[in-house]
Structure 1
Amino acid sequence: MNSIVIAMTGASAMQIGERSIQVLLENNQDVDLILSKGAYEVAKSERNINIPVEPKAQCDFWRNRLDVNSGKLTCFRWNDHSASIASGSHKTKGMVIVPCSMGTMGRIASGFSSDLIERCADVHLKENRPLIISPRETPLNLIHIDNIKRLAIAGALIVPPIPAWYTNPQNIEDIIDFIVVRLFDSLGEDLDYIKRWDGPNK
């Protein structure tokens, strides 16, 4: 089974990335996970969690934190340029960057690969594989908008983490689940965690 690459960068909204990992593993998917250097700091400051950097320890950390034993999880160091997913010969279903910082997005748009996330994104673009970017910033300046445009032209799909209200969310978890499912709809993954729109109530 080809894997789905999940990347979390140093932007706010790590909860969406966490839930993405959990949902995919619960659906018995293979997940390749990369956290940027900044993501560890965001986890500490926003989530009060210390995520191990060493890949084996990090996999154990996520398994315990998310309470899921199914699926296959492989974790990579942010600076491991020799990782399997850094090569175009390594087949994947696609890559999702959630949340994506403006810095990461700008470097990908410029073809500048300073870490494994950016290199892996470049690989997905050059191999014409799905690359889904979920940028987490507001307001957007003209540079951000131009980078979004460049990435869209290059083949990436831009899926901002925007909730819907027709689902009548009852809590933050409902909002996060809607965003996560919509992210993976774009990869053709049918994750049955939300109420979908089927027209107005009669």
Structure 2
Amino acid sequence: MQQPQTITVAFTGASGAPYGLRLVEKLLAAKCRVYLLISSAARVVMATEQDLKIPAGPDAASAFFRTRFGCEDDQLTVFGKDDWFSPVASGSAAPRQMVICPCSTGTLSAVATGKSDNLIERGADVVLKERGQLIVVPREMPLSTLHLENMLALSRMGVTVMPAAPGFYHQPESIQDMVDFVVARILDHLAIEQTLVPRWGYQPNGRDHRS
């Protein structure tokens, strides 16, 4: 029996909660297993932008998100920021794919310099050392020289830097359409089929179906 594709997703304190939530929703719909990491600042952002009060403990948070997304118990697990015994913390067990969405500039800096002071930073460090796939989705403007230098450093390590900058050629009619544009590009890079946004050149005169 083929094992499900397992992906680590981290929410950090940058604005852009809808991107992370939609990404997890679509990963679960694609039958992926998700290991979810949530920073303290991300909890504040989720409450501010989505009126989402995430329970404090990992078990309660796992149950909360399983109910929200209607997934099986073994399909989504939330790990605490200091859970050094989680699979995410070890190169022998961590998924080879990780997305930090949204990615704060503080997390960007920590990952670029190998800080590893919490499970999000350690998870990213593990993916890098194991030559896996790391995607970061920063949402900040304007970008300082330091931000750009950290992005360049990560890019040179093989990290895919995907700023949350939606396009408009698909003629978005709502905020959800703009969120879906960014999430669709992330799914493309994870090699997960998506029908959120029509591909360039395939729907020249019409809008594609969104699920």
TM-score, normalised to structure 1, is 0.94
**Structure 2 counterpart of 1:168:** 171
Once residues 196 and 167 of structure 1 are traced to their aligned partners in structure 2, the CA distance between those partners, rounded to angstroms, is 9
CA deviations over 1:115-146 (Å, ceiling 9, x no partner):
10000000010000000000111000000000
* Aligned mate of 1:61, from 48, 59, 64: 64
**Structure 1 counterpart of 2:33:** 30
Once residues 69 and 31 of structure 1 are traced to their aligned partners in structure 2, the CA distance between those partners, rounded to angstroms, is 10
**3-state SS, counterpart of residue 92 of structure 1:** coil
Matched, 1:194 2:197: yes
* Aligned mate of 2:106, from 103, 111, 136: 103
Once residues 92 and 52 of structure 1 are traced to their aligned partners in structure 2, the CA distance between those partners, rounded to angstroms, is 25
* 2:86 counterpart letter in structure 1: A
**Structure 2 counterpart of 1:179:** 182
Question: In angstroms, what is the RMSD of aligned CA positions?
Answer: 1.6
**3-state SS, counterpart of residue 16 of structure 1:** helix
**Structure 1 counterpart of 2:83:** 80
**Structure 1 counterpart of 2:130:** 127
**Structure 2 counterpart of 1:117:** 120
Q: Which consecutive residues of structure 1, in runs of 5 or more, have no partner in the other structure?
A: none
CA shift, 1:91, in A, is: 4.5
**3-state SS, counterpart of residue 42 of structure 1:** helix
Q: Aligned residues, how many?
A: 201
CA shift, 1:97, in A, is: 0.3
Q: Which consecutive residues of structure 2, in runs of 5 or more, have no partner in the other structure?
A: 206-211
**3-state SS, counterpart of residue 63 of structure 1:** helix
Q: Which runs of 4+ in 1 moved over 4 A?
A: none
* 1:140 counterpart letter in structure 2: L
Paired residues of 2:94 and 2:123 also in contact (CA < 8 A): no
TM-score, normalised to structure 2, is 0.90
* Aligned mate of 1:47, from 43, 50, 60: 50
Paired residues of 2:58 and 2:79 also in contact (CA < 8 A): yes
* Aligned mate of 2:14, from 8, 11, 14: 11
